[in-house]
């Protein structure tokens, strides 16, 4: 497993340079003028001469009487009602400040600032430099602020760094086999059961679409299956698209389109990162993680346009475009996961460029078949500064997936509505009555404070919000009144996970969360 012991490398104990640490004075925007009135003439003149403006996240070094800096000044904005302050505002500090050691002097009056600053520092210190012969400059170091929850910060930082590293690794270094090794290391760390189906065994185990997409590569395709948690806990299904490289297949991408295709396993990276958070936090759920891992390449045995493939669910799919392969492998994984009748399902994928065209690089799309789940996820994202935008599962567009020779086509008719038709395709493999969300993920297209170009966890706040939201919805779920036919109670001789409201309440009375990492403090922060 990728070593992430350095995820909090820029956060140090007081005995590591504490005596030489420079004060990092954090002052609120509204309290800045009051603070400036208490400063000496030299500090006030310095601020005026340098034109310092007390904007949220603004920072400067303040000179002392002798050579060198007396302290660093950072202005922090006050959170909006019902929302946490944006952690990314502070994430640029590890590299905007010189590579020295700092200690927090909090004059902001914000109760959650120590934890917010520590998390921002850990995320902002990230650099993907493992292939450089000479590493970039070291980040500035921060003495662990008093009051910061070290376990929470370390957990969130580790998950974020892991996702970024997985996405940033070249395809030659992150093959389906290596991705399976990463998953196996996660399972081993937390005592989870893992089953990896590869090569021809995919056909024997009824994963025909995963096999078809990945069979042209000498790196065999795989289906990674992890189970964790108590068997009688609410069942949560997490699925991630693991296309380790996508050439487009016979519908070959242009060279410019392939340059970033190592990131096409970003959905799998997010699924692994979310699973790490769930396991570390010991959420009271029965987690099943499914990752179909493939390379979509060209060879004599590659699947071809107009092929008709049978899926695990039994539906036949006509291949309208071999470059729409992600939804094929997700279809088999979703169908397998639905056999457990989960209380909640979520999948992550870099599925369509159409979503990015619609919403841009910073606002990820979400499709969801349950209004309550969608509202929960959107509200949590907005609260922690990690927004997403719900897109419609517009059922009339289902006609665009019709095929004259198969049950459905893997692409919509024409070039319009591609993001919607992709989601509608996936929905065909979600069992009726199961609340399901699909999150489209992407990468940072440019450098921003704390968020370098390349792989991104779509904001650490989003990962922090998703796990408790999944737990809350899965333990108190109601099947929508408008849902289609529920699974029969005795379909396999056992009580199904999707049942009547009365059955669900009796089975999943809300338990008390067992880990501080996902408990909400009086200030509203997860800790």
Q: Which two tokens stand for residue 139?
A: 């980040």
CA distances from 118 to 124, 303, 396 (A): 10, 49, 48
Quote the distance between the C-alpha of residue 315 and its chain's center: 30
Residue 127 burial (CB count, 10 A): 16
Residue 487 burial (CB count, 10 A): 17
**What is the C-alpha separation between 407 and 419, in angstroms, rounded?**
20
DSSP state letters, 22-42: EEEEEEESTTHHHHHHHS-HH
Contact between residue 248 and residue 296 where contact means Cβ atoms under 8 Å apart: yes
Catalytic-labelled residue, pool 25, 327, 356, 527: 327
Per-residue burial over 199-226, b if 16 or more Cβ lie within 10 Å, else e, is eeebeebbbbbbbbbbbbbebbbbbbbb
**What is the C-alpha separation between 527 and 517, in angstroms, rounded?**
4
The answer to whether residue 241 is catalytic is: no
Catalytic-labelled residue, pool 36, 227, 253, 478: 253
The answer to whether residue 327 is catalytic is: yes
Of 118, 126, 71, the closest CA to residue 95 belongs to 126
DSSP state letters, 176-224: HHHHHHHHHHHHHHHT-EEEEEETTHHHHTT-HHHHHHHTTSSS--EEE
Catalytic residues: 253, 327
């Amino acid at each position: 497993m990728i070593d992430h012991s350095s995820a909090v490398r820029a956060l140090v104990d007081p005995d590591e340079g504490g005596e030489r640490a420079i004060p990092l004075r954090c002052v609120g925007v509204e309290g800045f003028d009051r603070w400036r009135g208490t400063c000496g003439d030299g500090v006030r003149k310095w601020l005026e001469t340098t034109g310092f403006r007390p904007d949220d996240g603004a920072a400067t070094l303040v000179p002392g009487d002798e050579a060198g800096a007396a302290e660093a000044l950072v202005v922090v904005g006050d959170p909006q009602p019902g929302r946490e302050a944006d952690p990314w505002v502070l994430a640029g500090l590890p590299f905007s400040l010189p590579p020295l050691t700092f200690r927090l002097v909090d004059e902001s009056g914000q109760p959650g600032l120590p934890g917010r600053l520590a998390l921002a520092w850990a995320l902002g210190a990230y650099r993907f430099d493992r292939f450089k012969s000479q590493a970039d400059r070291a980040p500035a170091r921060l003495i662990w602020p008093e009051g910061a929850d070290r376990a929470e910060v370390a957990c969130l930082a580790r998950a974020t760094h892991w996702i970024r590293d997985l996405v940033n690794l070249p395809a030659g270094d992150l093959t389906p086999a290596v991705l399976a090794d990463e998953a196996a290391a996660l399972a081993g760390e937390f005592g989870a059961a893992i089953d990896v189906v590869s090569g021809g065994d995919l056909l024997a185990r009824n994963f025909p679409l995963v096999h078809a997409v990945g069979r042209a590569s000498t790196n065999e395709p795989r289906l990674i299956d992890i189970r964790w948690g108590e068997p009688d806990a609410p069942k949560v299904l997490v699925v991630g698209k693991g296309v380790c490289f996508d050439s487009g297949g016979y519908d070959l991408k242009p060279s410019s389109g392939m340059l970033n295709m190592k990131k096409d396993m970003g959905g799998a990276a997010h699924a692994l990162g979310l699973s790490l958070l769930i396991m570390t936090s010991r959420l009271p759920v029965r987690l099943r993680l499914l990752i179909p891992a493939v390379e979509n390449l060209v060879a004599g045995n590659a699947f071809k346009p107009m092929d008709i493939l049978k899926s695990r669910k039994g539906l036949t799919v006509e291949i309208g475009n071999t470059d729409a392969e992600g939804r094929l492998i997700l279809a088999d994984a979703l169908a397998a996961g639905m056999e457990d009748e989960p209380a909640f399902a979520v999948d992550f994928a870099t599925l369509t460029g159409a979503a990015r065209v619609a919403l841009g690089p910073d606002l990820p799309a979400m499709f969801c078949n349950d209004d309550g789940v969608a509202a929960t996820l959107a509200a949590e994202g907005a609260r922690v500064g990690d927004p997403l935008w719900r897109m419609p599962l517009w059922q009339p567009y289902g006609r665009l997936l019709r095929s004259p020779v198969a049950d459905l086509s893997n692409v919509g008719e024409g070039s319009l509505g591609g993001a919607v038709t992709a989601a509608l395709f996936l929905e065909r493999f979600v069992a009726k009555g199961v609340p399901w969300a699909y999150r489209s993920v992407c990468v940072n297209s440019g450098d921003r404070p704390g968020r370098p170009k390349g792989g991104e966890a779509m904001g650490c706040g989003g990962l922090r919000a998703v796990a408790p939201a999944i737990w809350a919805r899965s333990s108190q779920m109601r099947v929508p009144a408008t849902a289609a036919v529920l699974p029969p109670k005795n379909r396999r001789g056992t009580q199904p996970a999707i049942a009547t409201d009365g059955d669900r309440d009796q089975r999943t009375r809300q338990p008390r969360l067992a880990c501080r990492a996902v408990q909400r403090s009086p200030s509203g922060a997860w800790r």
